[in-house]
């Protein structure tokens, strides 16, 4: 009976493993091999590390790398902190219509990327609703050029990403909060602990594994950022919002096709994901050991 059960288990596992190998690992290996080649199609030829040397002198790549890190360093912390605060508020048993609020905040995650990007571009246009509202409230005297100014274009991308993905992280934190024993908070209330202290010394430490997971997940997503800059600003103005993923797309489909160099650029993302994930994991371990 045990042998039969093992055979049935392997019958379920093997097809999945084959699919992962064929559609994930093989393309990764093929892309790595291609990163050492130059040319197109049948004319691809091995050229050593020429593509990786080119990265060091490629101004557009450096700009894309810089922009991606700006989005990563600014947007990810904002999104994580917002998700933590919102989840804590929505976990309050005294709050009414919690289901409605949770659905409303999570809803952007299931919205079409292209659709919401077009809506954001319209809302933040020079004569769009946001500028009209800010001017009526006397917050600004003249319209902000959200799409055409390098600084404000970055701000717009950060706002768009935060709006879309905060609710996604909120769901993880809500699940974690609901797993915390309420008696811990009740004991803190008896000791006269205020709301901020409970959040700082109880909620945050107990959610540390989930915070680490969402931070790594958000880091990976930001390093692969493509849809928002592509659809809202088209990487402009003057490549001020171009990201690494968008540059890879341009190398393959917009500029003269260069599969080898595009593969080399894509492996920069792989290396960055591995390095940053290890750093975050180590940072989490160090804090646990204190």
- Positions in the chain whose pLDDT score sits under 50: 287-290
Distance CA 197, CA 199 (A): 5
Distance CA 75, CA 52 (A): 29
**Phi, psi (rounded to 5 degrees) for 194:** -80, 175
Residue 214 CB-half CA count within 13 A: 26
**Residue 117, helix vs strand vs coil:** helix
For residue 3, the model assigns a pLDDT of 76
Cα dihedral 38/42/43/44 (nearest 10): 20
Residue 64 and residue 219 in contact, taking contact as beta carbons nearer than 8 Å: no
Query: What DSSP assignment string belongs to 81-137?
Result: HHHHHHHHHHT-TT-SSHHHHHHHHHGGGGS-HHHHHHHHHHHTSTTSHHHHHHHHT
Task: Kindly give, in sequence order, each residue whose CB lies less than 8 Å from that of residue 124, ignoring residues fewer than 6 positions away.
Answer: 130, 131, 146, 147, 156
Supply angle C-alpha 220, 276, 260, rounded to 5: 65
Residue 76 and residue 222 in contact, taking contact as beta carbons nearer than 8 Å: yes
How many DSSP H helices and E strands does the chain contain? 15, 2
| Structure tokens belonging to residue 271 | 């290396």
3-state helix, strand, coil in the chain (%, to 5): 75, 0, 25
Which residue, 266, 245, 84, 270, is CA-closest to 177?
84
**How many other β-carbons are positioned within 10 Å of the β-carbon of residue 172?**
17
For residue 2, the model assigns a pLDDT of 67
For residue 67, the model assigns a pLDDT of 94
The CATH superfamily of 58-289 is MetI-like (1.10.3720.10)
87-117, pLDDT tens digit by residue? 888 887 778 888 888 888 888 888 888 888 8
- Residue located via tokens 């392997």: 10
Give residue limits of the domains in the chain.
58-289
- Residue located via tokens 């309420």: 182
Distance CA 264, CA 58 (A): 12
Predicted TM-score (pTM) of this structure: 0.86
- Residue located via tokens 């490629």: 58
Task: Kindly give, in sequence order, each residue whose CB lies less than 8 Å from that of residue 128, ignoring residues fewer than 6 positions away.
Answer: 122, 146
């Amino acid at each position: 009976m045990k042998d039969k059960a093992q055979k049935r288990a392997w019958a379920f596992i093997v097809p999945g493993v084959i699919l992962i190998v064929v559609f994930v690992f093989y393309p990764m290996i093929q892309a790595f091999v291609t990163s050492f080649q130059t040319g197109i199609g049948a004319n691809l030829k091995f050229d050593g590390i020429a593509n990786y040397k080119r990265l060091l002198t490629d101004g557009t790549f450096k700009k894309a790398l810089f922009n991606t890190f700006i989005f990563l360093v600014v947007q990810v912390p904002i999104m994580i902190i917002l998700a933590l605060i919102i989840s804590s508020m929505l976990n309050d048993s005294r709050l009414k219509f919690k289901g409605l609020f949770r659905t409303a905040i999570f809803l952007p995650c299931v919205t079409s990327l292209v659709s919401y990007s077009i809506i954001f571009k319209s809302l933040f246009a020079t004569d769009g609703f946001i500028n009209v509202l800010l001017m009526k409230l006397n917050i600004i005297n003249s319209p902000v050029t959200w799409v055409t100014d390098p600084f404000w274009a970055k701000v717009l991308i950060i706002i768009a990403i935060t709006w879309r993905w905060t609710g996604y992280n909120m769901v993880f934190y809500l699940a974690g909060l609901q797993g915390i024993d309420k008696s811990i908070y009740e004991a803190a209330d008896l000791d006269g602990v205020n709301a901020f202290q409970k959040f700082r010394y109880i909620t945050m430490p107990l959610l540390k594994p989930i915070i680490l997971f969402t931070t790594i997940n958000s880091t990976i997503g930001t390093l692969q950022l493509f849809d928002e800059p592509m659809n809202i600003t088209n990487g402009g103005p003057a490549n001020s919002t171009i990201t690494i993923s968008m540059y890879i797309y341009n190398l393959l489909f917009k500029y003269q096709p260069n599969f080898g160099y595009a593969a080399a650029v894509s492996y920069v993302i792989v290396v960055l994901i591995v390095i940053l994930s290890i750093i975050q994991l180590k940072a989490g371990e160090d804090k646990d050991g204190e």
